[in-house]
Amino acid sequence: AFWNATGSGKTLLARLMISRLGNQVCAVYLANPCFSRDEIIVAIGRDLGLTDMGSSIEGKLAVLRGELLRRHAAGQRVLLVIDEAHAMPAESLEEVRLLSNLETGQHKLVNIMLFGQPELDGLLAEPRLRQVRDRVIHRFVLQPLQADEASAYIDHRLRAAGWHGARLFSAAALARLVKASEGRARRINLLADKALLAA
């Protein structure tokens, strides 16, 4: 699970990670997980190519489990990536936990990654989600960019946009930009863009 403030790059990190997965991993990416417990199973199934999952939740889970077993037998791992997980209803998070119970004798049929803002930490602290919290094996908090990292980031963005000259921001301007942005990538982008437009 990844926790970080808005605009810190968690969605970019999730998409970059997915783009670098090999063919042996099938990633199911849910960008806006405000689904009911029933809808989230359908959304996962749809991403896996399932079209007819039945009407009951038990039937849907059985069809999904069958597809996960088929992929496991073919040597493919399934990774469920949920972005903006802090916005999920508690019942849907519990349903995701139940998905983590799907396994063969030795292997999980689906691995789950949650990306969210700090509110996700509070959500998982609720007593009713204790079992979900207990399933979190790794927890990462993305820290704001430090001054040298922000400087390198701005330089990289400018070069990617085609700039070939010397640095555009003085040390003083850069220090103010980093302070005003609080080291958040999205704010750095916005403030640097506005500064260049104003100049």
Per-residue confidence (pLDDT) for residue 162, from 0 to 100: 92
The DSSP bridge pattern shows strands 140-141 and 110-116 to be: unpaired
Give the relative orientation of helices 147-160 and 185-198 as an angle to the nearest 10 degrees: 60
Query: What is the reported pLDDT for 5?
Result: 53
Distance of alpha carbon 38 from alpha carbon 98, whole angstroms:
12
Integer Rg of the chain from CA: 21
Look up the pTM and report it: 0.77
Q: What is the structure's pLDDT at 7?
A: 57
CA distance 79 to 49: 15
Q: What is the mean pLDDT of each run of 10 residues along the chain (199 residues)?
A: 60 86 90 79 90 84 91 92 86 83 83 87 86 84 86 90 88 90 90 92
pLDDT confidence of residue 72? 92
pLDDT of residue 194: 94
- In this prediction, residue 22 carries a pLDDT of 85
Can you spell out the DSSP letters for 122-146?
A: HHHTSGGGHHHHHT----EEPPPPP
Cα 133 from Cα 43, distance rounded (Å)? 23
